[in-house]
Structure 1
Amino acid sequence: MINTTLYLRGMKGSLRLLAVLGAVITMYVTIIISMYDPELMATLDGFVELMPELMAAVGMDAGANNLLEFMISYLYGFILLIFPMLFAILRGNGLVAKSAEDGSMASLVAAPVRRTTIALTQAAVLVSGTVILLVYATAVELVSIAVMFPGEVAPGDLLQVNGALFCLQFFIGGICLLASCVFSDTRYSLGFGAGLPVLAYVLNMLANVGGDAEKAKYFTFFTLFDPSGIAAGETAARAGAGILLGAGILLYALAVAVFDRKDLFI
């Protein structure tokens, strides 16, 4: 279903970005987890109370009762949303639109390789990169917890939260790849592939602030990602993750179909 040579070339092109984002995630995850101290939670909550709207906008809430809740509050509202999303935006654009713009994609489709195979291979590169980044982030979290706070978080609970995070990032990757397949001009590919997720995140920030702005939650797919609900085993939170996964599959399938009919020789 995929072309091995093309897949390996695509993964090689992802290595530098994965390394940079992995280093940033390592730094933030280890620092945030090291800050956890039940005796100092009141102090940290004080910072939240000083800037409630700003902290709420990036998903940081006061009142965490355990380490997992603390991680959800300080990692899953910004750090672990933005950096994997950045990977999807940059690589989604580079795998198709950028190659179409510089002419290399036209040469590739002229080779005896089916277009569907090319599209599926590029999709596999994007999904693989997302998986690698999230698996790495999970490993950093588990190691940091084991070293600094052994036994504080059940690995299964963390894996469920990160499974839901994958569903969200998989959906975002589908948006980026579809935009890259629709537009051969990287300006438009980035405009839609990056613009839609960024706009959705901004709306999510507004919704988190509360008040009249809370209505913005009905216009952003980030609402379907509820790490606290996943950790608590809520059915609605799991359903939200499932919707993101299903919608992501549809977006990737649509991207493949669009690429299969795309005119690359204009």
Structure 2
Amino acid sequence: MKFTTEQILDLYREQAAKHGDGGTSTIQDIRTRVLEIEALAAHLSDGEKVLEVGCGNGFVAEELVKLFSIDLDAFDFSPDMIEIAQKRKIENAKGHVSYAVNDVLKLDADGLYDTVLSERCIQNLVSWDDQKVALENIVRALKPGGQYVMLESFWTGLNNLNEARGELDLEEIPESWHNLFFDEDKTIAEMERLGCSYVDQNPFLSGYYFGSRVLLPALMPKGKKVTSNSRLNDYFSALPPAGDFCPMKIVRFRKN
């Protein structure tokens, strides 16, 4: 086993203490967070009943109910994160959000939701077997015709990114220690087995990652450290998402 559930809880306890209710919790590059919210919002509509699996400190959920008149249930496995989320004072919300501690492996909902979102959550489960249980529970929670917006990390994008880096003699970027990235074909096959059709995918971070993880380190003067705070990343984050050069992307499914 690459990591344990206890290590994940410890990690997010540390994240909660360090970042509080900020948008940098679990993702230190705020540009990535902004792009994630924009990408998720593209798949929501007013009037929907929505579930967010792995909501962290509630930052994304707060932004979504400001944008849409939705009824949003949001949960996370980390009590420390939910404690922060439940203290949020959301002003000018169009929709409503409720936060709770829950475990996607024990999710017990039957046909309740128009849309289920996950955002870098299912990749924190310790095995493919656990991930399959999570996917099955998510599918069961969807109404017939409902959609699963799966914002998780896939090997396809990381392999493409590292191939591009290799051409410039840059070191490979490894899979994060606390993640199990998804095999794209295997995931699509599993979702089809569970009664869902593959709809489309959006590698919305591809341009930004190609700029910030390939071009920036290649351009940086020798010996100078590359950081996400680089002013150049303001430009790279506005690049169109050409290709598939980031492990994180949205893969979308619809329940038959």
Higher strand residue share: 2
Q: RCO greater where, 1 or 2, for CA within 8 Å and sep 6 or more?
A: 1
TM-score, scaled relative to structure 1: 0.28
Larger radius of gyration: 1
Higher helix residue share: 1
TM-score, scaled relative to structure 2: 0.29
